[in-house]
Amino acid sequence: MSDGLTGVLPTPWRASRQAALLRRRPLLPLGVLVLLLVVGWALWPQLFSHFDPLLGVPVNALQGPSLEHWFGTDHLGRDLYSRTVHGAALSLRATLLAVLIALASGIVLGVLAGFFGGWVDAVLMRLVEILMAIPALLLAMAVITVLGFGTLNIALAVGLSSVATFARLVRGEVLRWRASTFVEAASACGVGPWTIIVRHILPHASSPVLALAALEFGSAVLAVSALSFLGFGAPPPQPEWGLLVAEGRNYMISAWWYTSLPGLVVAAVVVSANQLARALQDDQGARQ
């Protein structure tokens, strides 16, 4: 019975939305800080490290973490910290590209399917279902095997495997807003379908899609690293994160830092991206 009152009572107080968000997600500022730091690494690697990531000093091989070498050194005596810093650009570029590819094609497919319906919807959604039926990693490996190695190809492969998720979300949002009265009012005014999509539907659909993009960013970091771990990414001298972890595998016992510290960086980025995605979702829930 009390449910009915929510409609009757004045809208609840939302002044301190940020404060409430912080109370629910106390680690959010830390997550944002981690993401900003990693983006800084990717943009200006020289500012954050002063060792050459590719130049080895054999005397210093396999040294533990110290004040000079924060993450220690690898089997060729290269500074692991500066390799991680320089690797950020490679890994993040692939990840960002993957998310953008997934986002763009997901939006196009979702809008076409949701807005025009009928056979367009039927065909596109069956395609999406086929995509979803194939395991993401297998699909990505297959794509790379066909296209060849390299950062762009990794991005394409990872992006393609998460197109389906975006397409389905966008389609749902489009269906929802298409049925709203203001969209009908606009079309009764003579506004064309593309204007309706761009002006009325996409702005309303943007917040859940952005939240999903943040979530997918986290899993894309993981997927890109996994692929380069398996050797599908940039070739060996390059310090891509997955490759760093893979190289350290053989020194697990003698040099614990070699695998675990770059691995921890990857984990921190993924967790931070998820924190951000959850916060975006919460915020969007609070606004509705």
Partner 1 sequence: MSQQALLDVRDLRIAYHGRDGRTEGVAGIDFQLQAGEILAIVGESGSGKSTTAAALVGLLAANARIESGSIRLAGQELTVASERQWQSIRGRSVGFVPQDPGLSLDPVKRIGSQLVEALTLHGVPKALARQRSLELLREVGLVEAERVARGYPHQLSGGMRQRVLIAIALANDPPLIVADEPTSALDVGVQRQILDRLQVLARERGTAVLLITHDLGVALDRADRLLVMHQGRIVETGNARQVFQAPQHAYTRQLLQAAPSLLVQQRRQVPVARAAEPSLLTVHNLSKDFSTWRHPGPLAVDDVSFHLPRHGTTSLVGESGSGKSTTARLILGLERPDTGSVLFEGQDISRVSRRDWLALRRQIQVVYQNPYASLNPRLSLEQIINEPLQAFDIGDAAWRRQRAATLLEQVELPARLLGSRPVELSGGQRQRVAIARALALEPQLLVLDEPLSALDASIQEQILKLLGELQERLGLSYLFISHDLAVVRQISDYVVVMQAGRVVEQGACEQIFQRPASEYTRSLLADIPGQRHAQLAVGAA
**Site size with partner 1, rule: CB under 8 A:** 31
When the beta carbons of 10 and 26 are compared against partner 1, the nearer one is 10
When the beta carbons of 14 and 50 are compared against partner 1, the nearer one is 14
When the beta carbons of 50 and 287 are compared against partner 1, the nearer one is 287
- Binding mask 176-205 toward partner 1 (x if CB under 8 A, else -) reads ----xxx-xxxxxxxxx--x---xx--xx-
Type of residue at 28: L
When the beta carbons of 148 and 190 are compared against partner 1, the nearer one is 190
- Binding mask 203-242 toward partner 1 (x if CB under 8 A, else -) reads xx--------------------------------------
When the beta carbons of 237 and 285 are compared against partner 1, the nearer one is 285
Interaction between residue 118 and partner 1 (CB under 8 A) = no
User: Rounded CA gap, 239 and 247, in Å?
Assistant: 10
Q: Note the residues at the interface with partner 1 (CB under 8 A).
A: 1-10, 12-15, 180-182, 184-192, 195, 199-200, 203-204
